[in-house]
Amino acid sequence: MNSKKGFTLIELMIVVAIVGILAAISVPAYQNYVTRAQVAEAVYLGSGMKSILSDYGWNNAAWPTLFVSPTTPADSGEINATLIGKYSTLTPTVTGTYPSGYITITMTTGQASGQTIFFETTDGAATWTCTPGTIDPKFRPNACRD
């Protein structure tokens, strides 16, 4: 009896086609997942400023004039803050006049590079709203959805 072992060419071509289709679907989905994780870092960076700005605002009835690196001594009107993350950068000033204002976080890497997220307050930093800015809707975290 003559028995052949192995796969035929058509069977191998079908398997390759299936793997190709799965890769074509999964790679873009994975890239979007990675970008959403990078945007989450920007939200985390901005969220860290909420309590610092709240304390400063309530004590001085004004926004600080400048954020400086945590390793640099802050002068009058300045606060120490982490401004640069791996994927995003925080603008070193609060835009607006106390008690209203917002901080801007700009993405610096990945598919969302150059896009922004805002954290806004109208009550002297007692409450903050995450505004999506120019971030593509598919990359926005739940806190920044319209």
pLDDT value, residue 2: 62
CATH 3.10.300.10, domain 9-144, yes or no: no
pTM as predicted: 0.78
Among the residue ranges 1-5, 62-66, 141-145, the one predicted with the least confidence is 1-5
d(CA 142, CA 146): 9
Among the residue ranges 9-23, 48-62, 70-84, the one predicted with the least confidence is 70-84
Is 105 in contact with 117 (CB distance < 8 Å)? yes
Domain ranges for the chain: 9-144
pLDDT per residue as tens digits for the range 64-122: 987 877 788 888 888 888 888 899 999 888 999 999 999 999 999 888 999 999 999 99
Copy the structure tokens of residue 99.
């008690």
pLDDT per residue as tens digits for the range 19-35: 999 999 988 889 888 99
d(CA 81, CA 77): 13
